[in-house]
Amino acid sequence: MSTSQNPLTGGMRKSMGNFTTYRSGRKNIIRSKPFEPKDPKTEKQLLQRLKFKLLTDVYNSFNGITDTGFVENRKQLTGYNLFISTNYRLVYDKSSMNPVIDYQRLLVSKGSIPRINVLESILTKEGVIVRFETGLELPKTSATDEIIAITKLKNGEVYVATQVRGVDETGTIVIECSNLNPEEVECCYLFARSINGKLSSNSTYIELKLLS
């Protein structure tokens, strides 16, 4: 990338040949690209692209709710960037040539608030009931924190429940999604976010049990 401050050229924008130009403040910015981009598509590159595509599809399937969980250390990165960079290292078996998303290792939130400890999670006719420790004795936790619970189904539907952490030692949150069979559920998660939306916790994967 090169910059131009030549007063003879004035403001520059749009593309010509292999150059793209635009204006940033008082500077003309010029970016060049190769005339013949190389795209060898080796086996390793194709595998990497497949992994990125699978993760992108998972990110999109949560309908933006993961952006509320990736709010720390953005440094001009988006929630999407942080979701992909975090999970690319976590969810795949490195030895496998057929990548599959491991939802138990997936993070839908990442941050400095302590992870929530789930005590019990039950699938009932009314939905998913999760009981958890509030952990108010831990640093960076507050009774005013927002607790966010997510259930994603294999058909693409996403159910979300939110409530404040509260002042008791334990709390209960209900994700209303009635008359579900366990086989319909893709994954469930729980995480916390500060009331100002600037801090979050790592998400906790929820193991569901049927109400007997």
Chain segment 3-50, per-residue pLDDT in tens = 445 554 555 555 655 567 766 666 777 776 665 556 667 878 888 899
> Is residue 132 included in any domain, yes or no?
yes
pLDDT value, residue 2: 47
Do 70 and 115 share a domain, yes or no? yes
pLDDT digits (tens, 9 = 90+) for 152-173: 999 999 999 999 999 999 999 9
Task: Examine residue 38 and state whether it is found in any structural domain, yes or no.
Answer: no
Pairing verdict, β 118-123 and 204-205: unpaired
The domain of 156 spans 43-210
The pLDDT, as a whole number, for residue 73 is 84
Quick one: pLDDT at residue 18? 58
**For position 40, what pLDDT does the model report?**
65
Number of C-alpha atoms within 13 angstroms, CB side, residue 110?
A: 16
Cβ atoms of residues 192 and 145 within 8 Å: yes
Name 34's Cβ contacts closer than 8 Å, sequence gap at least 6: 18
The CATH number given to whatever domain includes residue 54 is 2.60.40.10
To which H or E segment does residue 87 belong? helix 79-88
Q: Is residue 141 within 8 Å of 113, Cβ to Cβ?
A: yes
Using left for φ > 0, alpha for ψ between -120 and 50, and beta otherwise, residue 171 falls in beta
- 10 φψ region: left (φ > 0), alpha (ψ -120 to 50), beta (else): left
pLDDT in tens, 169-196: 999 999 999 888 889 999 999 999 999 9
Please check whether residues 161 and 60 belong to one and the same domain.
Answer: yes
pLDDT tens digit string along 89-130? 999 987 767 899 999 999 999 999 999 999 999 999 999 999
